Structure 1
Amino acid sequence: MSAFVRAARFVGDLDDEFYTDELQRDAWNEASAVGFQSLLWIGLIAAAILPYAAGVTGAWIAIGIIVALVTVAFVVIGYARARGVDMYTVQELRRPRMAIVGVLYLVGFGGVLVRLLVQGGDVGVSTWIGVAVGAALGATAAALGVKGHQRRKHNAELAAEEAELLGFEETDRPH
């Protein structure tokens, strides 16, 4: 078990005897998923509104909210992947709710950029360099994420085909 999984199990208190009861665990896992999704939606909506409603201060708070949400989302995705479930290969990501999430991120980041870079007062060269570097890193991370998703999906399809062929070969053998 990796250090990440051990740490996540500790944070989630997953070794508590509460989880030995299957029904309790399933109900709690579903409740946790609802809570996690509620946190994401509330945070994204707040981060999208704050730069417009609370000015520069709201923009800084929105950055903090977005960073926290992205961090938590990556922990959830990373833990699931460490346990053998890759959400990028087992579910369709092109759904209306994902489009809404994308729009909320764009509205939030757009508001942050407008408030901090345009209306935030004295913006120096170092800020614009930071914006350029951040944009380049973000674009690179997005490209790597898309490529990784495509690779994982392809590998999952190959594994499924291989498993299907192996299963067919075993049933085809004389007994």
Structure 2
Amino acid sequence: MSAFVRAARFVGDLDDEFYADELQRDAWNEASAVGFQSLLWIGLIAGSVLPFTGVTGAWVALGIYLALITVSFVVLAYSRARGIDMYTSQELRRVRIGLAAVLLVLSGGGAMIRLLAHYGGGDLGSLWIGAAGGAALGFAAAIVGVKMHQRRQREAELAAEKAELQGFDEAD
């Protein structure tokens, strides 16, 4: 077991005897998923609105944005460490994921634009140059993400085929 999984198990208190009862564990896992998704949506909405309240709101939105990203990556990393790759086990082209992505861009982008406009001395020309550069980097990151998703999906399909073929060989 990796240090990350051990640390995650400690943070989640996953070795508590509460988890020994399967029904309790399943109900708690579902409740935790609902709580995580609620926190994510509340954070995305708040983070999208806060930059409109001024520089302080933009800083708070940026903090919310970074916290949501960190927690999301911890969830993805833990599930992957446990053998579940969310990118290969569910359809990502859904309305809710698109809406979340829009809110994420509004949150992070709105905060950065507000802060750059405030601390950049009001020079919006350089702000838009920076925004264009950021958009190009974001687009490149999206392309890399899609390619990685496609690769993981192919690898999962190949692993499933290999396991199926091994099952046939063992049956003979």
Relative to the length of structure 2, the TM-score reads: 0.86
Partner of 1:115: 114
Residue 89 of structure 1 corresponds to 88
Q: Distance in 1 between matches of 2:98 and 2:22?
A: 34
Structure 1 residue 49 displacement after superposition: 0.4
The aligned amino acid for 1:84 is G
TM-score normalised by length of structure 1: 0.85
Q: Is contact 1:56-1:120 (8 Å) kept?
A: no
Match of 2:98 in 1: 99
Name the counterpart of 1:60. Answer: 59
Corresponding residue for residue 161 of structure 2: 161
- Aligned twin of 2:19: 19
Q: How far off its partner does 1:123 sit?
A: 6.1
- State how far apart, in whole Å, the 1-side matches of 2:113 and 2:119 are: 8
Which residue does the alignment assign to 2:72?
A: 73
Q: Distance in 2 between matches of 1:17 and 1:141?
A: 42
Q: Could you tell me which residue of structure 2 aligns to residue 150 of structure 1?
A: 150
Q: Which amino acid aligns with 1:35?
A: G
Q: Using the alignment, how far apart are the partners of 1:96 and 1:102 within structure 2?
A: 10
Using the TM superposition, give the Cα deviation of residue 160 of structure 1 relative to its aligned residue in structure 2, in angstroms. 1.2
1:133-175 CA-to-partner distances (Å, cap 9, x unmatched) read 866765554444333222211100101112222333444x3xx
Which residue does the alignment assign to 1:46?
46
1:136–1:5 distance in 2 versus 1, CA, 3 Å? farther
Moved more, 43-52 or 101-110: 101-110
Q: List per-residue Cα deviations over 1:30-86 (Å, max 9, x = no partner).
A: 00000000000000000000001x211111111100000000000000000000000
Which residues of structure 1 form unaligned runs of 5+? Answer: none
Aligned residues: 169
Q: Which amino acid aligns with 1:56?
A: V
- Whole-angstrom distance in 1 between the partners of 2:109 and 2:131: 13
RMSD: 2.4
Alpha-carbon separation, structure 2, partners of 1:93 and 1:63: 25
Q: Which runs of 5+ in 2 are unaligned?
A: none
Given the superposition, is the C-alpha separation of residues 6 and 98 from structure 1 closer, same or farther in structure 2, using an over 3 Å criterion?
same
Code of the aligned partner of 1:9: R
Mean CA deviation greater in 161-170 or 7-16: 161-170
**Matching residue's letter, 2:67:** A
Taking a change above 3 Å as real, the CA distance of residues 62 and 151 of structure 1, as seen in their structure-2 partners, is same
